[in-house]
Structure 1
Amino acid sequence: MSANPATRQPGGSAETINMRGAEFTEHPFRVIERIRAAGGSAPVLFVDNQAALAFVDDADVRTILSDRRFVVDADNVPEGPTGARRSHALNSLGIRPDLVTYLTESLLDKDGADHARLRKLVSRTFTVRRVNDLRPSVERIAADLLAALPSHADGDGVVDLIKHFAYPLPITVICDLVGVPEADRTQWLAWSHQLSRFDPSRPEAMNETLGAMIDHIEEMIVERRERPRGDFLDALIGVRDEDGGRLSGSELVTLVFTLVVAGHETTAHLLGNGTRALLENPDQLALLRSDPGLLPAAVHEMLRFAGTAVTAKARYATEDVQLRTGKVLAGERAVAMVAGANRDPSVHPDPDRFDITRHHGRPGEAHVAFGHGMHYCLGAALARQEGEIAFEALFRTFPELSLVPGRPPLPDPVPGTLRLSELPVRLGI
């Protein structure tokens, strides 16, 4: 059995970082740069309060995310005393046993053949064509939300862009895609907020929220079998019913749950963080206005500079793995700090400078905001499309949009993420 990673030095910093602590939650880049300066790796208490080793180097992050010697499911560690470790941890936190499977059996929690099977089935319905077909709908949703913004402004013309634009746009888009009824979307948004703020001291709140979501999805599936609409959910049900049982009933429910929650939370905060970055860097906003062709590159720079995810899901080493800045022993957990990779100066010169020309004309993605390897985000194309549409429409509709002196953006301290709970802006109309 390997040493406790929270008590040994992996080749970098000897300091143990509490990733639920105030410093990391409020100032993640400060902590990341301290780890980089100390050698590139450090023992941590991950967001679930379990020991791990964190890595900030771009090469190490990419290895952890793509090398098959790292797995997300502890049960895939050979001869390791893992035994459904995450399930046991959730049970010990008071999560109802009948709900645990929906938190541990998603596409995000699978390795190898199981992951490939689910990803292939979802990819058959989450196609490029389906995403492209959504563009007119995304444009309409963005236009409608922006037209309503003045009605939400206070007497000084100030409106919270998170509440009235950044969140409503992606939740509406993903619910349209999946087929969540319009009348239920406000409830889904509330559920998602509650899940992202899971408080281990109040498991009853998680049980109530998750139980309600699962019940709702199961009701949707029953209703859709009786009255199909030809949308994404119908396509998933077709895979479940017609493809030899390669998608189980619980997997179908978990896929819908994962797609709706993951499909809007990260995009919402891309819109919030990206708008803030542009408004705090007026030279870059002016450059974008002068050359709209820079918009795709600008979205990539927002993802690199201020992407929602600070860390990726922890991985387990199936054998001893020597990384560039430290060694992970078999059975230990490694945490890829995607925000660290995205500000690695060896890959991104002058990484703390927001530069929307940085990615212009470059093929592929230099950042890892959508992950890397087999777990690369299935919804990346949709998120980029939503970002491009949203930013173009926002600054075209409100060319004088500005931050509000004395009312700074309000961070939302959710461990492992970079997000805002409020973004007060003056519309300038």
Structure 2
Amino acid sequence: MTTSPAGPNTTAGPNIMDPALIADPYGGFNRLREQAPVVLGQSADGTPAWYVTRYEEVRAVLSDRRFANNPGATPGAEAVSNQEKMLEMLEIPREFYPYISESILDVDGADHDRLRRLVLRAFTARRINALRPRVERITSELLDGMTGVADLISEFAYPLPITVICELVGVPEEGRELWSTAGTALTSIAPGSKGAAARALVEYTHGLVDRRRSRPADDLITELIKVRDEGGDRLSDVELVTMILGLATAGHETTAHLIGNGALALLSHPEQRELLRRDPGLWPNAVNELVRWCGPVLITQMRYATEDVEVGGTTIKAGEAVQPVVVSANRDPRAYEDPERFDLTRQLSERGEGHIGFGVGIHYCLGAALARQECEVALRALFDRFPDVALEAEEQTWAPTPGMRQLASLPLRLGEPSGSRLDG
């Protein structure tokens, strides 16, 4: 059995900020996975962290409540100190720490259950399903504006989810450019000043909440203002703004890059596109295979052991950090036959979606259903509208973003439109 090192700074090992790992996350994390199910390395700020690399072990960590997202739940002060180092590295002003580190993704236990219960009352499957006609209309309108050679990322993959999430939340059109640019800045873990972005979004969102208190509307902000749990408890103003920021910023960024990565995968595998043309009923399965094979999230946020826990033969001591690696787990040959093959007919596991791209357990992505819907609608409409669409360049440029796999751009030759439209 492996045990953790004696001191807090006795490790080198892999680091998510390593340029080689950023450039080739599939190869790099695959090699780590085959080295061991749990590998000692460093977090983005250089502090020690255990990388969990294999499918079963990643699922186990994500499902185990002994691993907390909130470092304050661990014994001692080391985990809290490490989180503060990370926020300092990202140059987040201390006054905005609660909005960044106390979201539904960062709390556990009763606090998490309460927040999730409150937001689920306003973020229901019925509400998401009812959005589909609007998602289809926005998609068609964006495709209407694309001709010749177009960049799929800036002209389509980004505008679609930011428009959808802003309409769902209740962000008016004049605030969406701010939401897009500042939200993108906040979701990156690359070092750099995020103070201005944090201030702009927090102040703007507080203003939106104030307006909805006096002038309710048919949007998520209004629903979250009204919602109560069984005991009559409501979200505080800080909880409300934090919840809105988390839903909106995380939702549009990851969905945009799922659409971009998915388009590239399908354009690079024409035989798979042909399967979808012949049998459109494959699209839901196709989206799950896209999330497994080229989902944008490579690694989850840090989790902390609240007590000594054994994972894959390694003892993680109380207070130590772990990072489950999504990209290596989703390509683990122990869980998938020929995992490097992109196959839309793949019979995925009976456990949920057959991948862990949206997480597992209590922190499973709240926006997963919306992301799947947007990806399916967007890609299906793109290939229906432009049946001859092709890549403009053989090589693509990937953004050097730690923890994410995202295209900087995706220039496409669209060809002649078919004339088909989702909204008729």
* TM range, smaller chain: over 0.9
Quick check: 288-297 or 225-234, which moved more? Answer: 225-234
Q: Name the Cα RMSD after superposition.
A: 2.1
| Distance in 1 between residues matched to 2:140 and 2:165, nearest whole Å | 17
Q: Distance in 2 between matches of 1:111 and 1:66?
A: 12
Which residues in structure 2 correspond to 1:366-385 (within 5 Å)? 366-385=354-373
Residues 199 and 307 of structure 1: is their aligned pair in 2 closer, same or farther, counting only changes over 3 Å?
A: closer
Structure 1: distance between partners of 2:17 and 2:107: 25
CA offsets per residue over residues 47-69 of structure 1, 9 Å max, x none?
34332010111111011111011
Aligned to 1:166: 157
5+ long unaligned stretches in structure 2: 417-424
Q: After superposing the two structures, state which structure 1 stretch, 362-371 or 305-314, moved more.
A: 362-371
Q: Identify which of 172, 181, 188 aligns with 2:172.
A: 181
Q: Does the aligned pair in 2 maintain the 1:240–1:248 contact within 8 Å?
A: no
Q: Whole-Å Cα distance in 1 between the matches of residues 166 and 232 of structure 2?
A: 27
SS of corresponding position for 2:346: coil
Letter in 2 for 1:333: A
- 1:391 Cα deviation after fit: 1.4
Matched, 1:337 2:325: yes
Who is 2:422 aligned against?
none
Report the Cα distance in structure 1 between the residues aligned to 2:184 and 2:91, rounded to whole angstroms: 20
Give the Cα separation in 1 of the matches to 2:228 and 2:46. Answer: 36
Letter in 1 for 2:124: T
Contact 1:57/1:325 (8 A) holds in 2: no
Distance 2:36 2:271 in 1: 34
SS of alignment partner, residue 146 of structure 2:
helix
Q: Which moved more, 1:325-334 or 1:167-176?
A: 325-334
Pairing partner for 1:415 from 394, 398, 402 = 402
Task: Please give the secondary structure, in 1, of the residue aligned with 2:39.
Answer: strand
Structure 1: tracts of 5 or more residues without a match: 9-14, 151-156
1:220 deviates by: 0.6
Aligned residue pairs total 413
SS in 2 for 1:17: coil
Q: CA deviation at 1:244?
A: 4.2
Identity %: 45
Instruction: Give the deviation of 1:94 after TM superposition.
Output: 4.4
1:183-222 equivalences under 5 Å are: 183-197=174-188, 199-200=190-191, 202-203=192-193, 206-222=194-210
Q: Does 1:265 align with 2:253?
A: yes
Distance in 1 (alpha carbons) for counterparts of 2:33 and 2:349? 29
Is the 8 Å Cα contact of residues 309 and 338 (structure 1) preserved in structure 2?
yes
Whole-Å separation in 2 of the counterparts to 1:130 and 1:64: 31
Is this contact kept in 2: 1:161–1:422, CA < 8 A?
yes
Structure 1 residues 41, 343: closer, same or farther in 2, change over 3 A? same
Structure-1 separation of matches of 2:178 and 2:157? 17
User: Which residues in structure 2 correspond to 1:229-268 (within 5 Å)?
Assistant: 229-239=217-227, 244-268=232-256
Going from structure 1 to structure 2, the CA distance change for 1:41 and 1:241 (only over 3 Å counts) comes to closer
In 1, Cα distance between the equivalents of 2:247 and 2:52?
A: 28
Question: For 1:72-102, what per-residue CA distance to the aligned partner results, in whole angstroms no more than 9, with x for missing partners?
Answer: 1111113454446524642576432211111
Evaluate the alpha carbon distance shift between residue 330 and residue 293 of structure 1 in structure 2; reply closer, same or farther with a 3 A threshold: same
Q: Does the 8 A contact of 2:103 with 2:239 survive in 1?
A: yes
| Matching of residue 327 in structure 1 with residue 315 in structure 2 | yes
Deviation at 1:263, TM superposition (A): 1.2
Moved more, 359-368 or 382-391: 359-368
The Cα of 1:4 is off from its aligned counterpart by: 4.3
Which deviates further from its counterpart, 28-37 or 374-383?
A: 28-37
Mapping for residues 15-414 of structure 1, pairs under 5 Å: 16-79=13-76, 81-83=78-80, 85-87=82-84, 89-91=86-88, 94-150=91-147, 157-197=148-188, 199-200=190-191, 202-203=192-193, 206-239=194-227, 244-359=232-347, 364-406=352-394, 408-414=395-401
Contact 2:184 2:249 in 1 (8 A): no
Distance in 2 between the 1:149 and 1:280 partners?
21
- The amino acid across from 1:251 in the alignment is E
CA offset digits 1:177-198 (Å, max 9, x no partner): 0000012112211112222345
**Counterpart code for 1:73:** N
Task: Name the residue aligned to 1:154.
Answer: none
**C-alpha displacement at 1:40, in angstroms?**
2.7
CA–CA distance in 2 between the matches of 1:240 and 1:388?
33
Q: Equivalents in 2 of 1:254, 1:70: separation in Å?
A: 22
Superposed CA deviations along residues 109-167 of structure 1, whole A, max 9, x for unmatched, are 011111000000000000011001101100000010011111xxxxxx21110001100
Distance 2:89 2:51 in 1: 25
Partners of 1:89 and 1:32 lie apart in 2 by 22
SS of 1:43's equivalent in the other structure is: strand
> 1:2 touches 1:329 (CA, 8 Å); kept in 2?
no
In structure 2, the residue corresponding to 1:411 is in which secondary structure?
coil
For normalisation by structure 2, the TM-score amounts to 0.92
